[in-house]
């Protein structure tokens, strides 16, 4: 009895393997792109939450109101003191926009909104909604009583 060993693969086997890889890749690619977009949006929401925490800390430690300024037209966010000196800003990456700002003390829409953080550890309260190119939204809600910012999907 003699055993013969195969020393390679045939061209047909190679073509089948490449075709299977292409099909699997085509199925996985869209979900991978969505995952990256979701991670980017969540990262920006976390950065905005930390900027809100900074505004609260600055207000309490310096005993003066600080504000989170949100410009819808320019997609700009920054923390400023009472003298309008910018403490920290947030540049939004391409594909992510500020969709909406709501304040407890404001009834109508505005292109520039200011959410105040007070020296006693409270805030004006409101929310900032971010939206990515795929239409996914994340809202950062600022509690008026504790001035804590939380992320809400």
Give me the percent of the chain exceeding a pLDDT of 90: 41
Residue 71, pLDDT above cutoff 60: yes
Residue 123, pLDDT above cutoff 90: yes
Distance CA 2, CA 143 (A): 81
In a domain, residue 144? The reply is yes
pTM (whole model) above 0.85: no
In a domain, residue 6? The reply is no
In a domain, residue 4? The reply is no
pLDDT at 4: 61
The CATH code of the domain that includes 98 is 3.55.40.10
pLDDT at 86: 87
Average predicted confidence (pLDDT) for the chain: 85
**Closest CA relative to residue 139, chosen from 103, 93, 99, 89:** 99
pLDDT at 84: 82
Q: Residue 26's domain spans which residues?
A: 11-152
In a domain, residue 2? The reply is no
In a domain, residue 3? The reply is no
How many domains are there within the chain?
1
pLDDT at 101: 86
In a domain, residue 87? The reply is yes
Determine contact, residues 48/128, Cβ cutoff 8 Å. Answer: yes
First to last CA, the chain: 69
């Amino acid at each position: 009895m003699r055993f013969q060993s195969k020393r390679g693969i045939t061209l047909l086997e190679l073509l089948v393997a490449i075709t299977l890889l292409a099909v699997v890749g085509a199925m996985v690619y869209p979900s991978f792109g969505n995952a990256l977009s979701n991670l980017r949006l969540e990262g920006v929401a976390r950065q905005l939450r930390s900027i809100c925490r900074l505004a609260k800390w600055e207000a309490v430690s310096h005993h003066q109101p600080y504000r989170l300024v949100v410009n819808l037209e320019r997609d700009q966010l920054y923390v400023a003191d009472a003298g309008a000196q910018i403490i920290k800003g947030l540049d939004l990456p391409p594909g992510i926009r500020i969709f909406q700002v709501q304040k407890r003390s404001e009834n109508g829409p505005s292109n520039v909104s200011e959410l105040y953080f007070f020296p006693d550890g409270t805030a004006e309260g409101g929310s900032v909604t971010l939206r990515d190119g795929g239409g996914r939204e994340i809202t950062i809600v600022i509690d008026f009583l504790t001035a804590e910012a939380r992320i809400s999907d």
